[in-house]
A and B are shown apart, each in its own frame.
Chain A
Amino acid sequence: MMSDDAWKAAWDPVVAAVGRDFSDGASEGADAVERGLVRRYLEPLEFDCPLHYDDAAAEAHGYGGMIAPYSSYLAFAVAPIWSPGDAPVFTSDERDAQPARAAIRPPASGLEPPYTGYFATDFEIEFLAPLSLGDRVSRSGMRLASCEPKETRVGRGAFVGWEWDLVNQRGEEVAQIRVALFLYNPRETSSEQAVEAAAAGRS
């Protein structure tokens, strides 16, 4: 590994960029809120709350009709893997081949030093408005909120925090999100140990 000063200094550009917005503008979720998608969302959770499928029940509690589960906001903000007009993304028949473009990617400033491992460590979401049928979610902004270089048991890297808003098709803010990830170059250790060690490192 590099000397103490060198590995920390490599994160200086990211530390200096805290507060900047790195949004690339490509932020719309793949699908609008639809009855069938909500049904599928509820299915593996075995979640039978009538607010999410029964218009009359939702209206009786002050909503305009059925609403999406709050935890599904993230799912409705996920970008498409492929859309009409795009180049093919499934181009390999190798068993574990990944598509050329993933639906979910970690936020990045482009200023990070090389790293090989990452995982989310913290998540926070504040719900500001319900999502109704036909609503379309987009990400608004991608602000670098924090960068803390740190050596943990798993290796040297940085805890990097991001925050963004989710807005509907009318531009109304529906949620605010904060996420922290640990980006690092691992020591000889398993990913399981890495997660536990990183969580302990934040405590």
Chain B
Amino acid sequence: MDWSVQRHFEDVEAGQEIPPVSFPLSVYRLVVEAGANRDFNSIHHNSAFAIASGTDEMYANTTFLLGMWERTVREFIGLGGGIRKIAGFRMRSFNYVGETVTVHGKIKEKRVEDDQGVVELEVWSATPGGVTVGPGTVTVTLPRREPGESLRAA
């Protein structure tokens, strides 16, 4: 990821897709994640426990799924962007170990509020079985370009 390039408000348009980011889920990764975000519910790192609760396998926890959205959005808005709100984060089905979760997004709308460039992104997570989280809305800000300014390093 090249963090030296900054996307600006003027560079984006409604309907534009943001680059997807994939997250392969192994047992190892889920265990590291549980330790990192402190959601130690056994359904997220213990296959036997998860299966006994009626699921097919252990599955990714909510904070991990939120983090996937944040990374995907941050890589699009760059260091100069801001994240205001995540809404519509609806968990539709489990994201199991042994699957790859891919976060997708596209721009719903853009507007100027108090001289700030505000962008609404539609974001969702999917596995090969379909959409697992969302679609929700992530509200972000992007820096505005000065008149005559072109794409430049941050």
Contacts and interface: CB of A to CB of B under 8 A. Distances in A.
Given A61-B80, A192-B56, A121 B38 contact: no
A10 interface: no
Contacts of A43: 32, 36
Interface in B53-95: 53-56, 62-64, 66-71, 74-75, 79-80, 83-94
Contact of B29 (A44, A96, A196): A44
Interface in B22-49: 23, 29, 32-33, 35-42, 46, 48-49
Interface string A88-106: 0000000110100011100
Interface string A36-51: 0000110111111111
A98 B46 CA distance: 12
A121 B48 CA distance: 23
Given A44-B33, A124-B89, A78 B39 contact: yes
A172 interface: no
Contacts of A126: 84-85
Interface stretch (A13-21, A64-72, A107-115, A163-171): A64-72
B63 A71 contact: yes
A49 B3 contact: yes
A70 B81 CA distance: 13
B39 A104 contact: yes
A195 to B, nearest CB: 6
A57 interface: yes
Interface in B103-141: none
Contacts, number: 133
A81 B89 contact: no
Given A102-B41, A126-B84, A71 B69 contact: yes
Contacts of B54: 190-192, 194
A32 interface: no
Nearest to B40: A103
B36 A40 contact: yes
Nearest to B96: A192
B85 A127 contact: yes
A145 interface: no
Nearest to A49: B74
Contacts of B29: 44
17 contacts: A45-B33, A45-B70, A47-B74, A48-B1, A49-B75, A49-B79, A74-B37, A74-B63, A75-B37, A78-B38, A98-B42, A104-B39, A120-B62, A124-B89, A127-B84, A190-B55, A195-B92
Interface of A: 30, 40-41, 43-51, 57, 60-61, 69-72, 74-75, 78, 81, 95-96, 98, 102-104, 119-127, 190-192, 194-196, 199, 202
Q: Name the 9 nearest CB pairs between A and B, nearest first.
A: A191-B54, A71-B66, A75-B37, A44-B33, A123-B89, A78-B38, A199-B92, A71-B70, A71-B67
Interface of B: 1, 3, 23, 29, 32-33, 35-42, 46, 48-49, 52-56, 62-64, 66-71, 74-75, 79-80, 83-94, 154
